[in-house]
Structure formats: C-alpha cells, structure tokens
Amino acid sequence: MTGTLPLEGLTVLSLEQAVAAPFATRQLADLGARVIKVERPGAGDFARGYDRTVHGESSYFVWLNRGKESVELDIKDPADRAVLDRVVERADVLVQNLLPGAVDRLGLDAATLRARQPDLVHCSISGYGSSGPYRTKKAYDLLVQCETGVLATTGTPADPSKVGFSVADIATGMYAYSGILAALVQRGITGQGATLEVAMIDALGEWMAQPLNHSVYGGGEPRRTGARHASISPYGPFLAGDGSRVFLGVQNDREWAALCRELLGDAALVEDPRFVHNPERVANDALLAPIIEAALAGLTADEVVARLDEIGIACARLRSPAELAAHPQLEARDRWRDVSTPGGTIRAQLPPVTVQGQEPRMGAVPRLGAHNAAIRAEFGPVTEEER
C-alpha cells in the first residue's frame, strides 16, 4: 500500500502516562502524526514498569506507545521548560492526563495556551472531570469500573468481577481520539482549535447506558449472569457431547425457531409460552440450558459449530489470548505487522480501520529518552537568526 496518511505533517505533544492518553495518541501516530511524548527524567511513564513480559518491556507500554518520540523533560527546570514551550509553539494538538490541577499550576492549561495559539487543539483526560466533588480524586481503570456500575453487572450472581482488560481507559482513549479528529476537521474549516475534556466516568458511563436503562426503567437491580447474557436468551456457553463448550447467540424469534427446528429437533418449543419471545426466554433461561445441552449431547463441539453455521445461528469457540495470536481469520487477512521495541521485534495487529491504499505507520516503541538529543537540538534555545 502507498499513499499519504491522513495526519502527516501534524505534531502532537503529549504529557501522558498510563493507558487512556497513550492509547489515544497511539491512534494518532498510526495515522501519520508526529507524537512527541514527554516523560519524567530517569523514570518515564510509569506504565513502563507495570511488567517485563515483552522482551523485557512492559506489555502495556509496547501496546500503547509505538511510533512515538520519547523525550525526558523536567518541566520545573527552566532549561527543559524552555524546550517544552518551543514544542508547544509548534504543536497542533496537546494531550494531557496529568494529576488533577497539574497543568493549571504549570501554565499548560487550555485557557493559557489557546490565548496564544487559538488554533491549538487541547485535550485533557481525567478520571472525573474538572468540576464537581470528585474532580481532585485519583482514578484508575478498576476504580472507575466500580464507580460506573460495571462490577455490579459483571461476574456471577455470587461474585462481581472486573472486565479483564482496561475497558475504562480504552473507552476514554477512544473518545479522546475521536474528539481530537473532530476538532481537527473543524479547525480545517474555521481555522480555530478547540478545548476538549474527556472524563473516564463519562466515557465508561456511556458504555453502561443499556444496563442503566434496564435497571432504572425496569425497576430492578442488574443481573450478573457469568458468561451468559443478562438480557438476551439463549446467549452464552453450552456443553457439547465431547465436554467442550460452544457459545451461541439467538438474537430474535426467527432464529429461535430455526434453532428449535433444525438443531434441537423440537418444533413445539417455538410456541412454548415459556420461550415464545426473548423476555420470556430470559425469565426462563435456567430451564433452557438443560434442553439445549440434551440436544447437543450426541455431537462434538466442532459438529455443533458446523450445524449452527449451517442454520445461521451465531456461535463461537472459547479462545485464550495466546490463541488469538494465531487466529486463522487474522492470519488469512494478513492483520499482523512487525513492530520494533527496545528489547526486540513483536507482532502487533493492524489498527481496526482499514483505508484502501494506505498502510498505517506502526513505528518503533521508543526506549526512555530515545529522542532526547534530537528534540533538544530541534527545539533548543532560540538562535540570533530566529529572533
């Protein structure tokens, strides 16, 4: 593939750490933007220390920071601050998720910077927003999952459970990314930048809208149903005759009828008042599992999947993360690329959006301070010629 990437020529300055902001800016880097990542001298983004599982590097950091330039700057040091200010002057986008109030104390807040640079897109990411009683409260992924009701809806009836990946951070990063893109489009029309705020509680709260609606207007507490769906039935894992589980999902009454006739072999279930529509099936979900598993007892999991595919019922096999790395569908579609890290090469998935004629820029993951000399030289003291 060839072609100019959409964000080539744009400079993004990121005062970032952990997951949410780095996830947003990595998307921008994949689209061709120059992303300059400011890190604490000697320590860097604390996500670098989460683990050492990827050639000695953090699995989080290599996921979130490919294609960026790393520069160590002590923002409170006058010389380093001068370098930072010069980068700000040339930046199209500034992204920050420092501790609440930090950018204001440093004079890097949107009001201060955009008074000098009206075309700057300034994006602040926080846990709970810039106002309200929680504005100064620290926020991490699991804690925001708690505050937004995710744990109340995830897990088994006996035990709530966190989502197994950084869902609050990812939701927030994606809204920051899409907000920045929208602001850049608007800037292209009006010439004006924008001041953006994205709070983790708002991002994950949006993703919790359906359970919220169901609880508030349905008059009941959320149901934790393990691997089964709480409001669609049958939708979840069922035991096949070889001891393996197959996940299937019936989305409407037409599919329910097909399942009954073609796989369960019992057309009478279609009009059974306990199962006739989805609300009835959900209410009687515990009765459905033994009926379905009795019909699957004479089939292997592979045979069940083949039959479900044949009759048009969505289904899946349970895979581990390691099995995802060898998923035949991803391999067949050439969805992997090599990415360099300080410890060696890894395989990384292409970004989800494919643009015909363009290859995303999946650049190297930088070691801490890899671009110190180059950035200090480029954005160093003003020369007499520049005055």
CA–CA distances in Å: residue 265 to residues 140, 145, 282, 320: 49, 42, 21, 32
Position 28, amino acid:
L
Distance CA 243, CA 300 (A): 8
Distance CA 119, CA 117 (A): 5
* CA 377, chain centre distance (Å): 35
Please report how many Cα atoms fall inside a 13 Å half-sphere around the Cα of residue 25, on the Cβ side: 37
Are 239 and 296 spatial neighbours (Cβ–Cβ below 8 Å)?
yes
Both tokens of 240, joined, read 């096949």
Are 328 and 305 spatial neighbours (Cβ–Cβ below 8 Å)?
no
Q: Which residues are known to be catalytic?
A: 229
Angle CA 367–369–371, to nearest 5: 100
Residue linked to tokens 């001041």: 195
